[in-house]
Amino acid sequence: MNDTANERQTRREVVVDAVMLVLIVANLALIVFDWTFEYEHFRTLLQATIPAVDEFYATKVDPNFLLYDLAFVAVFVVEIVIRWGLAIYRGTYRRWYFYPLVHWYDVLGCVPVSTFRSLRVLRIVVVIRKMQRLGLVDLKQTAAYETFIYYRDAFLQDLTDRVVLRIIGGIQEEVATSDAVVEQITQQAILPRRNELINAMTHRLQAATAHAYDQYRPAFQTYLDGVITQAVQNNREISTIGMIPGVGSTIARLLEHAISDIVYNVLNQIMDDLGEQAHDQVLSDITALSADAAFSAEHEQEINELVRALIVESLDVVKNQIQVYEWTPTRPSTNATPDADPPMHPSTASSP
């Protein structure tokens, strides 16, 4: 029963809204026509094409335009008063005076002044939205709505891009000129993640060391052989052994090969051990000591400059990415194709 009563009430409101919509459109059309009627070029065109309309409007309507407008206003005022009374009767709002505050555009639109007359357009928007919500009209399928959405999205994206670029530029200025900001970033963002950075560096150091050693193992062995040979030749004791008649040179050569093999095997074992998880703690400790030395007070200025450069350059990358215009929806046209070129992004032509 209540649903039926609500449906009847909704239908009545829709009928009233439709009537008011027609009246508001007619009133606005009259206002626009009267405004253009004041221009000499329009009068000349009207006299040349439809002289009867020009004569009728000039003699009957234009002198009494304010009366005609007041007639529309009288209807609008009566409608507002009735709706206000119904809102009070139904308890639509918590206070009796809320209705004119909520529907301020209707109230101000009744003022017969050019500035306030334009507010009557808002009533048209409200009525159409209500009909859209009730399913009486479907503007989403119209070309006008699609065009509006298309350019609205383009405008909003360009606006937000410009705002973001300006904000990022301000951040870059602050970082470039303020040591306090860089110090806060170092103390509050980087140092609290010291252990995470050390773990990441440890694992990457293990992987990089193993890969580099495997790749350059033959060259490293050749270099090591040369160094050991030079060291043996410069060693007085081995040179003395080499001077023993008969077997001296052989013993010296065997010692050289033995030393080379021992050193090479020891280094091989060290490199293999570094890649094992059992020695992660050792490598982590070494990395931690290096990190502590890097972040010590002695190197504080260097670290701050490095952090500053990283932040500024990272923000430059973000700004460049924002300036790449990737908004490419289908243009709202019957002849549009998915490959239609989007409008050029203004931010790619000039900086904000």
Residue 284 confidence class, pLDDT cut points 50, 70, 90? low
**Cα(315)–Cα(329) distance, integer angstroms:** 27
Q: Which pLDDT value is given to residue 43? A: 85
Range 318-326 average pLDDT: 77
Q: Which pLDDT value is given to residue 340? A: 46
Angle at 27 between CA 22 and CA 33, to 5 degrees: 125
295 has a pLDDT exceeding 70: no
Mean pLDDT over all residues of the chain? 78
Structure tokens at 155: 């405008």
**Cα(83)–Cα(98) distance, integer angstroms:** 12
- Tokens 């252990």 correspond to 195
Per-residue pLDDT tens for 246-259? 677 787 778 777 88
SS3 103: coil
**Cα(304)–Cα(302) distance, integer angstroms:** 5
Q: What is the pTM of this model?
A: 0.47
Per-residue pLDDT tens for 231-244? 877 777 777 777 77
- Tokens 């030749």 correspond to 233
Residue 352 confidence class, pLDDT cut points 50, 70, 90? very low
Better pLDDT: 86 or 297:
86
